Amino acid sequence: MEAMSGKIIENVSVSQCYQLSRKFNTHYQRDNFAPFMRNMLPFQRGKLAWTAIPSMQLRNFSKYQSSFVNRRTVHCNAAPSTAAVPNLDKVDFLKLQNGSDIRGVAVAGVEGEPLNLTEPVSEAIAAGFAAWLLEKKKADGSRRLSISVGHDSRISAKKLEDAISRGIAGAGLDVVQYGLASTPAMFNSTITEDDAFLCPVDGSIMITASHLPYNRNGFKFFTNAGGLGKADIKNILERAADLYNKFTAEGLTNSKGKALASVKRVDYMNVYTSDLVKAVRKAAGNIEKPLEGFHIVVDAGNGAGGFFAAKVLEPLGAVTSGSQFLEPDGMFPNHIPNPEDKTAMKAITQAVIDNKADLGIIFDTDVDRSAAVDSTGLEFNRNRLIALMSAIVLEEHPGTTIVTDSVTSDGLTTFIEKKLGGKHHRFKRGYKNVIDEAIRLNSVGEESHLAIETSGHGALKENHWLDDGAYLMVKILNKIASARASGQTGGSKVLTGLLEGLQEPAFSVELRLKINQSHQDLKGGSFRDYGEAVLKHLENYIDSDPKLQKAPVNYEGVRVSGYGGWFLLRLSLHDPVLPLNIEAPSNNDAVLLGNVVRAALKEFPALDTSALDKFVQAS
């Protein structure tokens, strides 16, 4: 009991009275918050021009929003009522689904982006998840189920954490709040066995919207079986919509009392980080400080990954001076926390060079994606990160299948299959699609140990198929540490050497072709049907050209080789967009491929090909 009390930080009062809170929040945000936004954040073409604002000013705004908008107490004297709450905004819950995540607008003030992820909506979603979990776990009432809740650095995180906690507690489940956390840690809380930290929990919710702008937020859900899929999310949102429509003033008020009794706060990140440290020490033969003498800088992009420097690298002996943007700041004043973003990668590359570091590591906002940079500034992201992880995994599991998304290069396939002796299985875009495909292959007897996207999502069989950016970096650190333990020197050159023989395209580009949903050519149909018609036409068009060859095995869109390169035209998972990826030995060869696509698509007037036109004409 003493051990437990030492780990549990506090019981948390998380709820506000809702009889007047909706009215208050709407009024307050309209009359106070929005003008503050207008005075502080200049608009350019409907978007916030926040790149020119000093970071200190942004941090002050973050505190202002958190202190005043999120945490204001509303005192209620009205008698309880069982009538439905009349002033709740109508919300299309299913539009909040983004694949296997939920995402919406949680902060007012951006033109053309109305709030749809409000506190009552979030409370309903949490209650929907609780109901789903009770059914999934076949709870019989013999024990209370528990759900952990964590969040990244977004400015709307705390108010949504409170709302989520109310929804869970109102459904009769216990809530364990983690505060600032990473997405991978939230999943790990469902499999950790430690009574002192109230683990394992039955389910987990991470409050995050990855690298999206500061005004967005969302949720990811986990059980010990892994992250929830699209069908599960739809089920939860349908339950939430039904609950939302039945909300009463009395029920919303009562959720406060239930939350008071049901919410505890735990510093779970200590458990998660200590496991990462143990993994590196084990790989190096149980040396206490296997990274001693290595200089490694971390760029957390002001997200939730700042812990990695002090909690993982320093206990392993690494020097972390020069690490940057470790402080959580939900306005993301320095750069987008996204390993795919050129500005973000330039920032970590410059930090490595300026500090003469051995290695640089960068995370996205919630730490489920990552990338690295070697001592010379060579980036390990996209195809290179996949190649590096493939080399490490295939050393441990010779011949295994590497599952990737659809936009990986032909050179990567040659590298995995000819140089490393593995098998490359190129599948659909979407990190959950890639992970689920690797799991499926294993279930039918084809061994796979790595599922990884060009976006930086990477999951390993040994790590419960969790897309964990921190664990991905631990695998890289393991390689460096074990190499040193065996007498090898050279720091990150050990990693660079693993990429020897990787053929990289001289030219690559991605163009986004938008479908105009209001164009008469759609004839009232859906953009998805229109997009599929475009792809079918392109496929038929390619068949008539002997210089072009369709990929013999392809799971998404139309992939074609020709002129020494290839292109892939596919339909976006969620948006009315057809992304076009082209890779070629030269710009001229890429233009030839672009012209093929352009000629095939001229019969579809609802498709905006201006990006393709500009690329072809400019070249």
Region at 528 (left for phi over 0; alpha for psi -120 to 50; beta for the rest)? alpha
Say whether pLDDT at 31 is over 70.
Answer: no
pLDDT at 559 over 60: yes
Question: Nearest-CA neighbor of 213 among 377, 383, 37?
Answer: 37
Q: Is the pLDDT of residue 438 over 90?
A: yes
Check pLDDT > 50 for residue 58: no
- Answer yes or no: is pLDDT of 466 > 50: yes
pLDDT of 262 reads 78
* 223/237 Cα distance (integer angstroms): 17
Q: pLDDT at position 140, please? A: 80
Residues 6+ apart with CB under 8 A from 177: 12, 14, 148, 149, 150, 161, 165, 263, 264, 265, 266
pLDDT tens readout for residues 484-498: 888 887 778 999 999
Q: Give residue 518's pLDDT band: very low, low, confident or very high (50, 70, 90).
A: very high
Its sign, for the CA torsion 407, 412, 413, 414, is positive
Q: What is the pLDDT of residue 319?
A: 98
8 Å CB contact between 125 and 171: no
**Contact between residue 187 and residue 130 where contact means Cβ atoms under 8 Å apart:** no
Mean pLDDT of 223-231: 94
Task: Please tell me the distance from the alpha carbon of residue 176 to that of residue 11, in angstroms, as a whole number.
Answer: 9
Convert the pLDDT of each residue in 563-611 to its tens digit: 999 999 999 988 899 999 999 999 999 999 999 999 999 999 999 999 9
Farthest CA pair distance, the chain: 78
The model's pLDDT over 279-318, given as tens digits with 9 standing for 90+, comes to 999 999 999 999 999 999 999 999 999 999 999 999 999 9
Burial class of 578 by CB neighbour count within 10 A (0 to 12, 13 to 18, 19+): buried
pLDDT digits (tens, 9 = 90+) for 135-160: 999 988 788 999 999 999 999 999 99
| Mean of per-residue pLDDT scores for the chain | 87
H helices of 318-468, in order, are 342-354, 382-396, 410-414, 431-443
The predicted structure's pLDDT at residue 35: 30
pLDDT of residue 43: 30
165 burial type by CB count under 10 A (0-12 exposed, 13-18 middle, 19+ buried): buried
pLDDT at 562 over 50: yes
Rounded to 5°, angle at Cα 164 from 178 and 153: 50
Amino acid 6: pLDDT: 40
Q: Report helix, strand and coil shares of the chain as percent, to nearest 5.
A: 45, 20, 40
Q: Tokens representing 158?
A: 């705390």
Give the pLDDT of residue 304.
98
Q: Which two tokens stand for residue 330?
A: 């939900």
Average pLDDT in the 246-272 region? 82
Residue 74 pLDDT greater than 70, yes or no? no
Mean pLDDT over 526-555 rounds to 95
| pLDDT cut 90: percent of the chain above it | 78
CA dihedral for 53, 183, 237, 439, sign (positive or negative): positive
Dihedral sign for Cα atoms in the order 46, 52, 55, 58 = negative
Q: Say how far apart CA 20 and CA 74 lie, in whole Å.
A: 7
Tokens linked to 373: 């940079």
**Amino acid occupying residue 480:** I
Six-digit token pair at 213?
């702008």
Using an 8 Å Cβ cutoff, are 309 and 370 in contact? no
pTM reported for the whole predicted model: 0.84
Instruction: Using alpha carbons, select from 619, 617, 594, 598 the residue that is nearest to residue 609.
Output: 598
pLDDT, one tens digit per residue, over 168-222 is 999 999 999 999 999 999 999 999 999 999 999 999 999 999 999 999 999 999 9
- Amino acid 490: pLDDT: 75
Instruction: Look at residue 30 in the predicted model and tell me its pLDDT.
Output: 34
| pLDDT, tens digit, 9 for 90 and up, residues 455-465 | 999 999 999 99
Scored b (16 or more CB within 10 A) or e, 320-357 reads: bebbbbbebbbbbbbbbbbbbbeebbebbbebbeebeb
Return the pLDDT at 87: 58
pLDDT reading at 513 higher than 80: yes
What is the mean predicted confidence (pLDDT) over 91-95?
Answer: 95
Q: Is the pLDDT of residue 59 over 60?
A: no
Domains of the chain, CATH where assigned: 90-266 (3.40.120.10), 272-499 (3.40.120.10), 507-618 (3.30.310.50)
